[in-house]
Structure 1
Amino acid sequence: MNIENMEAFVYVNHYGSFNKAAEALFLSQPSVTARIQTLERELECKLFDRQSKQTVLTEDGRKFLPYAEQMLQVLQKGKQKLQQRKKAPQQIRIGCTISVSNYIIPEILKQLRARYPEVNYKIVTATTDQLVQKLLNREVDISFVRKVMHPAIRTLAFYEDPISLYVYEGHPFMKTGKASIQDIQHETLVFFECGSLDWMRIHRAFESLEQPPDIAFQVDNVVTAKKLVLEEAGIAFLPDVCVSREVKDKKLFRIHVPEVASVSMQISIVATKEDCAVTSDFADALTDGFREAVLL
């Protein structure tokens, strides 16, 4: 059954005239008449009676009218729904630790936008524990966190970022490009304290020393730690990805420390198990974007 024929039927009833209905529909009067006649043949009944200059519904027309109006309303609601989706595209809420938010996400959002142009992105920065709770509370859809284990969460490995010792230009360690734990105990340290097992491994390496190192500055923000090193306030163990720009610009320099050479920061992509489809599909896009933007 043609929806345009029902539309003509509803309009003729509303305006009480074939001519006025034709004007409202931007059609000719014969076109409206033809549509009503076609609908009458399909329904096998007469819908209108013409009484002098008025057009009124027949008994069958009155019975059919609410159904025709309902069908047009459903169609209109469907159109509005599609228009709303175009005006307000789907949003992905991405949770990130500070380092990911500062150094990873800005590099890959462009690739994500190109792959999913209809999606908007909301970035939420917090600690791993906070992000896990936000995930469980449905405040974020997917998160970059330290490696976690939770029965309601699915975890996918994203990347491992080595944690290395970095010094400022002109520091004595630059002569050889390497240092031992014993050498470090005489240095002023800036320590980016994350509270994770990876960073605890660095602390354990200091336990063998007779004299503990001078941790003059202990901060919870990698940007603060990096700036303190740039200001020559001390040297620091930092995730490599966080200092890639400064290394490229030859403002910071990586020093090899054999005792902690295997220490790295492990980042995973997590989502609730109910959203496992979001995890797998979107994780692929995130990983591809990371490789293109950061590693290549």
Structure 2
Amino acid sequence: MNIENIEAFVYVIHFNSFNKAADALFLSQPSVTARIQSLERELNTLLFEREGRNFSITEKGKQFLPYAQQILQTYKKGKQQLLNLSAAPNELRIGSTVSVSNYVIPDILPIIKKKYRNLQIKLTTAPTEVILEKLLNKEIDIGFVRNVTHPYIDCTGFYEDPIRLFVHQGHPFVEKEQITIEDVSREALVFFECGSLDWMKIHRLFATLNHPPNIDYHIDNLETAKKLVAKGMGISFLPELCARKEVKEGVLVPIHVPALGGLSLRTNLISLKDSSMDFSPLCVDALKQII
């Protein structure tokens, strides 16, 4: 059975499009169609029902899909084994979002370096979209990003960073037992905006009130937001990890707000599916030592 035919089948389903699958595989649309037809002949069954330009997966196709995905994964593992993954790496190129570069990378790199003393490390800080592009172009080996999907990459959850409300040491909230969104809305807010879905959920919490929140500052930089809160200029919702140092020093105080629920910023670790060296376990092990 041709592995490329199976790959085409999985990609068409992933993108729900022959054209998009062709783009991802760097093939023409007729080439993808030919691979699917070849696979159907091998299996002696139809995998897709076709009506003009529209198509749908058949029941037989649905039954075959998990096996096709497993075949591709097994092939990848076998390829990695032949490339001798046990050899010590000599270079690690990391792509990372700003928050991970500032608050995670400085802690995990010494742990990685301790294990591989001759390892040269290069860090590139950029938005998620740029990191994904660099990974696909093989300019970096791994990336720490927000949520992203692509058939060429493996994406695993790396770290869940809870969003907490932070105030300065002398703020009245420190002594108050129960804090509501109504209470928060009446305080001067330093609103850190990073564009993720979880931050939009915070906006929606305020939307349930009869009056808008008192946002004095819209800030796109975590360090600036923290310093404004520390100076008593307002209170702020921030990722817990970024304020770890200030909390330890007593400069900032985390406040429990039940309405926040389990809001968090998720960082994912991405790598190429066909990578000859998998650094993901190394980074995960390093993270476990610091949290």
Establish whether TM, by shorter chain, passes 0.5. yes
Classify the secondary structure of the residue corresponding to 2:148: coil
The alignment status of 1:147 with 2:144, answered yes or no, reads no
Classify the secondary structure of the residue corresponding to 1:259: helix
Q: Distance in 2 between matches of 1:266 and 1:227?
A: 24
4+ residue runs over 4 A deviation: none
Classify the secondary structure of the residue corresponding to 2:277: helix
Give unmatched runs, 5+ long, in structure 2.
Answer: 1-88
Classify the secondary structure of the residue corresponding to 2:121: strand
Q: Distance in 2 between matches of 1:177 and 1:234?
A: 19
Aligned to 1:116: 116
Within 5 Å, which residues of 2 pair with 1:178-193? Answer: 178-193=178-193
Classify the secondary structure of the residue corresponding to 2:286: helix
Deviation at 1:98, TM superposition (A): 1.0
Aligned to 2:277: 278
Deviation at 1:159, TM superposition (A): 1.3
- Larger-Rg structure: 1
Q: Distance in 2 between matches of 1:261 and 1:247?
A: 21
Identity over the aligned pairs, expressed in percent?
A: 46
Amino acid at match of 2:146: R
Deviation at 1:189, TM superposition (A): 1.0
Give unmatched runs, 5+ long, in structure 1.
Answer: 1-88
Amino acid at match of 1:94: I
Aligned to 1:218: 218
Deviation at 1:178, TM superposition (A): 4.2
Under a length normalisation based on structure 2, what TM-score does the superposition of the two structures give? 0.67
Amino acid at match of 2:286: G
Q: Distance in 2 between matches of 1:164 and 1:105?
A: 21
Q: Distance in 1 between matches of 2:218 and 2:98?
A: 16
CA 178–221 in structure 1, closer or farther in 2 if over 3 Å, else same: farther
CA 173–225 in structure 1, closer or farther in 2 if over 3 Å, else same: same
Classify the secondary structure of the residue corresponding to 1:93: strand
Deviations 1:146-199 (A, max 9, x none): 121122221011110101000001111111254111111111111111111121
Classify the secondary structure of the residue corresponding to 1:262: coil
Aligned to 1:288: 285
Aligned to 2:11: none
Within 5 Å, which residues of 2 pair with 1:64-75? Answer: none
Classify the secondary structure of the residue corresponding to 1:191: strand
Residues 142 and 280, structure 2, Cα contact 8 Å, conserved in 1: no
Within 5 Å, which residues of 2 pair with 1:209-288? Answer: 209-275=209-275, 278-279=277-278, 282-288=279-285
Aligned to 2:82: none
Deviations 1:187-227 (A, max 9, x none): 11111111111211111111101111122211222111111
Residues 271 and 280, structure 2, Cα contact 8 Å, conserved in 1: no
Amino acid at match of 1:159: Y
Residues 177 and 254, structure 1, Cα contact 8 Å, conserved in 2: no
Aligned to 1:132: 132
Classify the secondary structure of the residue corresponding to 1:110: helix
What is the RMSD computed on CA atoms of the aligned residues?
1.5
CA 184–288 in structure 1, closer or farther in 2 if over 3 Å, else same: same
Residues 178 and 255, structure 1, Cα contact 8 Å, conserved in 2: no
Q: How many residues align?
A: 203
Aligned to 2:53: none
Deviation at 1:270, TM superposition (A): 0.3
Aligned to 1:4: none
Q: Distance in 2 between matches of 1:166 and 1:270?
A: 30
Classify the secondary structure of the residue corresponding to 1:278: coil
Q: Distance in 2 between matches of 1:248 and 1:242?
A: 12
Q: Distance in 2 between matches of 1:274 and 1:177?
A: 53
CA 278–204 in structure 1, closer or farther in 2 if over 3 Å, else same: farther
Q: Distance in 1 between matches of 2:144 and 2:178?
A: 32
